[in-house]
Structures are given as structure tokens and as C-alpha cells.
Amino acid sequence: MDTHSADLLKDQLILFRQSVSEAAKNLSGSSGPGSWHAGAPFAEKCRILDLLHSSSLPPEEKTIFVQEYQRIVEELDALLDRHGQVYCNLLLVELRNLVHAYHAETCLSSYWRDTTCVRSGRERRELIGELLEHLSSHYPLSALEALVATIDDNAVLDEVVMTDHGTSEDFRSPGLLKGSSPERDAYCCGETKLSARHV
């Protein structure tokens, strides 16, 4: 038995369930905007899927974890049904911030060859994909999807170039900096870590 993989999955499933419970508590209460991360359950969901895909556990053991994962997904779906548009509106705000953060990380990792930025950007990109898939039936997201595709292309082709004194204001990838601001640039890698608490 792969004890390490099993322990990681157990811990991540606990975090997934806790993030759903925390979201339910905040949605039912009077938490103000920005006081919690609506996308946290989706971030934990992405991590679980990554662990399940990479796990070398025997099929019968992995099935137990998959079943538990599916039960928590059902709890998240029920939460979405219960709070509907209110929750989706919060997720949309986080999605937009995530896209800007992903762009900044992609630019910085390209310039500095920073593996931490690359890894963080990859996690953030998975979460963006998850939220885009969920929210596409609630909002017109074609422009945002096109923006993400352009950032993806820049990441693959390594087209983002910065000067020695460059900032996010100097990024010249076409159309990527609409709405850029110093406050949002705080999402650049190294200033925030992607977790259930910091999505």
C-alpha cells in the first residue's frame, strides 16, 4: 500500500470538506466581500483530482477515495443550488482576479524562470478552468475565455518580454492589461500563496 499517497488523499479530502463547510457558513452569515474565498472549495477540488490522477494506489483502495470525493462534490453542488446566483456572483469576482494573477505569474515566470511561479501559475490555471466551466452557464464569458487562451499561448510560446525595470504596467502582450492596477498586482507570485485560504 502506498501510505504516503493515501495519507495525502485523506488530508486533502478533509480540507475539501472543511472548505465546503466554511463556504456554507459564510454564505449563510453576513460575511462581507473579501473576508473569505468563495473559490476555496473549487481549489481543493482541483488538488484532489490531481492527487487521484497521480496516485499509484491499487484500484480498490483508490475507489474508496473517489467515492468520498464524490460525496463532498455532492455537498458542494447542494451548496451551489441553495445559494445560486449569490454564490456565482462571488465566484465571478474571484475568477476575474485569478485571471489577472495568472497573467502576472506567467509574465514573471517567463522573465525570471521562476519554478515557484510556474507551479503556482499551473495550480491557478487549473482553478480558472474549473470556475470557467462552472460559470459559463451563468454568464457570457467568451471574452474572459479568449483572454485566458491568449495568456496560455504566451506561456507556451514564451512571448512575454519585460525590461530590467519593468512592472505589470510594461507588459506588452496584446489586450492583456485592461483593468490592470497596482492592487491587483499584489497577486503576483511570491506575494500570495494559492491555498484554500488564499485563492
**pLDDT tens for each residue of 52-73:** 998 889 999 999 999 999 999 9
Q: Are 199 and 93 in contact (CB under 8 A)?
A: no
Set of cell numbers at residue 89: 456572483
Place of cell 484554500: 196
Query: How far apart, in whole angstroms, are the C-alpha atoms of residue 95 and residue 89?
Result: 10
Q: Would you state the pLDDT for residue 198?
A: 37
Set of cell numbers at residue 38: 468563495
Torsion of CA 128, 22, 187, 150, to 10 degrees: 10
Q: Report the chain's terminal Cα–Cα distance, integer Å.
A: 33
- What confidence tens digit (pLDDT) does each residue in 26-47 have? 998 866 656 689 999 999 999 9
Mapping DSSP to helix (H, G, I), strand (E, B) and coil, where does residue 1 land? coil
Q: Are 105 and 188 in contact (CB under 8 A)?
A: yes
Place of cell 514573471: 108
Give percent of the chain above pLDDT 70. Answer: 68
